[in-house]
Amino acid sequence: MLIVGLNGSPNKTGSTKTLLNTVLEKAKSLGAETIMLEAGELLQSAKHPFCAACSNPCSGACYSGTKLEDAFELLRKADGIVFGSPVYFGNPSAQLKAFFDKTRKMRGEKAFYNKVASAVTVGASKYGGQETTIKAMHDIMLVHGMIIVADGFGEDDCGHHGACAQRPAENDENALKRAEIVAKRMVEVCGATCSIRRNQ
């Protein structure tokens, strides 16, 4: 089982990364292989850091032979993906949005279809747009045909939208707890849905 964390924050050591690491560390303790990707860093390897719709259908020419293409190939193999983003004006970061704008070719190939997905986010205030940011990430997941899970688990509660923190995340005990629950749910659902991904 492979679960990939995708850091949509331009900060590689900030609060978003803290929540993602919490999810991945818990998933690893439950037997999953885990890898972290940095969206901003990967976009810099492409010809353009944003999608210009240069071909339709998308040929992937703008990122051929780059680290971004390598990341997409890794994501093809993943069972689950955890999206992470800070809150920017009630939405995900430009880096995360640009990363997924580049996945038009992948969508055409149904590369993320039936992959399990969840989201974590961090805002500067307690009610700082975390849930609207997660909802926007859910939209991306749905357009790719992914299976959305949040921060609910049978031994805990049904959860809400995903793990939401107030910056700094390392001081938000509830958010760290919810991030671990995200991991438990992801591992559970990745295991239960393995056969429908392998049959694609």
Q: What is the CATH number of the domain that holds 68?
A: 3.40.50.360
**3-state DSSP assignment of residue 13:** coil
Q: How far is CA 132 from CA 82, 107, 139, 140, in A?
A: 17, 23, 11, 13
CA–CA gap between residue 42 and residue 44 (Å, rounded)? 5
Q: Which residues pair with 2 in a beta bridge?
A: 33
Which residue type is seen at 6?
L
CA–CA gap between residue 105 and residue 112 (Å, rounded)? 11
Instruction: Provide the pairing of β-strand 147-148 with 116-123.
Output: parallel
Q: What angle do CA 37, 115, 90 make, to 5 degrees?
A: 60
pTM, entire model? 0.94
Q: How many domains does the chain have?
A: 1
Per-residue pLDDT 10s for the chain (200 aa) are: 999 999 999 999 999 999 999 999 999 999 999 999 999 999 999 888 888 888 888 888 888 899 999 999 999 999 999 999 999 999 999 999 999 999 999 999 999 999 999 999 999 998 999 999 999 999 999 999 999 999 999 999 999 999 999 999 999 999 999 999 999 999 999 999 999 987 56
Domain membership of residue 98 as a residue range: 2-198
The shares of helix, strand and coil residues in the chain, as percent rounded to the nearest 5, are 45, 20, 40
- Nearest Cα neighbor of 3 from 73, 77, 80 is 80
CA–CA gap between residue 28 and residue 2 (Å, rounded)? 9
**3-state DSSP assignment of residue 60:** coil
